[in-house]
Amino acid sequence: MKNAILISLREHLKALKLSSMASGIETHLRQAKESGIGYDEFLLDLATTELQVRAENRLTRRIRDAKFPLLKPVETFDLNAVPDLDMRLFRDLCGCNYIKEHRNVIFLGASGTGKTHMATALGIEACKANYRTRFISGYGLVNELLETRETRDLSRIMQRYSRYDLLILDELGYIPFSKEGSELLFQVLAERYERGSVMITTNLGFADWTQVFGDPIITATLLDRLTHRAYTINCPWDSYRLKQSIKEKK
Ligand code: ADP
Ligand code: MG
C-alpha cells in the first residue's frame, strides 16, 4: 500500500516536472521519519532541493552555451598583480548591472595583460546571474557569418547573436577583416546597439580600428555606437605571462 502511494507520488511529481523532488522523495521521507521534522519542514526541504538543483543545472547550461575557451572564474584573477586596474569599476562589473543597462565594456591593452581572463571571469558572473552569454573571438564570429552567408542561414545566425544578453568578442584587432566580414560584423553589432551588451578585448587603440574594419566610415560609425555609454578598461601594465616567466627564471 505504502509503496503504491510512493509510486503515484513519484509519477505525479515527474508529471509536474519536479524531477529532483521525485528522485529525492524516498531519501527525504526516510530522513524526515528519523529526525521527526513536521510536514511543513519536510516539504520545504524537498522544494529547496528542487530549486537548488535547477539553479545548478541552469548555470551549467549557461556556461556550456557561452563556450568559454577556458573556465577562468574571477577568484583565479590576481588583483594584486594589476594595481593599476580600476578595482571599483571591475567589482561593479562583476555585479552585472551593465548588462541590465545594455552597456558595453571594452578592455584595451597589450597581449598577456589579462584581458581575456577578465572577460571570461565577467562572462561567468553573467552566467551566474542567469544572463544568456556567448564568448567568441572576433575572428571566429566573422568566419561563422561568412560561412553561413553561403548557406543562406545568415538571418537565423544574426538573430541568435542579437538574442544574447552579453556577447563577448575576444581579440578584436589581431586579424583584419575582409570588406564583407566587417560589414557582417557591423550588422551584428548594429542589431545589438542599446539592446544588449557587447564586451570587447582588443590590443588596438581606437585610432587604429580602421586597420581592422577597412572602411573609415564603417569604423567611425561602429566605434561611435560601441563606445556610447561604454566602460573602457585600460590595461597599460606589463604582460602577466612575461612577469611570471621572469619570476620563474629568478
Ligand atoms: P590577454 O587576453 O590580455 O592577452 P590573458 O587573459 O590571455 O591576456 O592572460 C595571459 C595569461 O596570464 C593567462 O593564462 C591568464 O590567465 C594569466 N593572467 C593574466 N593576468 C592575470 C592575473 N591578474 N591573475 C592571474 N592570472 C592572470
Ligand atoms: Mg586575449
Helix (H, G, I), strand (E, B), or coil: what is residue 226?
Answer: helix
Tell me how far apart the alpha carbons of residues 204 and 248 are, in angstroms, rounded to a whole number.
29
Three-state SS sequence of 28-92: HHHHHHHHCCCHHHHHHHHHHHHHHHHHHHHHHHHHHHHCCCCCCCHHHCCHHHCCCCCHHHHHH
Q: Is the CB of 90 under 6 A from ligand 1?
A: no
207 and 166 in a common domain = yes
Q: Among 66, 91, 109, which residue terminates a domain?
A: 66
pLDDT reported for residue 32: 92
pLDDT reported for residue 9: 92
CATH code of the domain covering residue 115 = 3.40.50.300
Say if residues 108 and 200 touch (Cβ distance below 8 Å).
no
Which three three-digit cell numbers place residue 142?
566573422
84 and 21 in a common domain = no
40 and 150 in a common domain = no
Report which ligand 1 atom has the smallest distance to the Cα of 72. 16
The CA 116 to ligand 1 mean position distance, Å, reads 7
Question: What pLDDT tens digit does each residue of the chain (250 aa) get?
Answer: 468 999 999 999 999 999 999 999 999 999 999 999 999 999 999 999 999 999 999 999 999 999 999 999 999 999 999 989 999 999 999 999 999 999 999 999 999 999 999 999 999 999 999 999 999 999 999 999 999 987 878 888 999 999 999 999 999 988 888 889 999 999 999 999 889 999 999 999 888 889 888 888 889 998 998 999 899 999 999 898 888 888 777 7
Q: Among 66, 88, 114, which residue terminates a domain?
A: 66
Report which ligand 1 atom has the smallest distance to the Cα of 171. 2
239 and 129 in a common domain = yes
58 and 84 in a common domain = no
Q: Is the CB of 82 under 6 A from ligand 1?
A: yes
Domain count, the chain: 2
62 and 80 in a common domain = no
Strand spans (E) along the chain: 105-109, 133-137, 166-172, 197-202, 231-235
182 and 83 in a common domain = yes
Domain that holds residue 26: 3-66
106 and 192 in a common domain = yes
168 and 91 in a common domain = yes
97 and 26 in a common domain = no
Which three three-digit cell numbers place residue 30?
526516510
9 and 106 in a common domain = no
119 and 90 in a common domain = yes
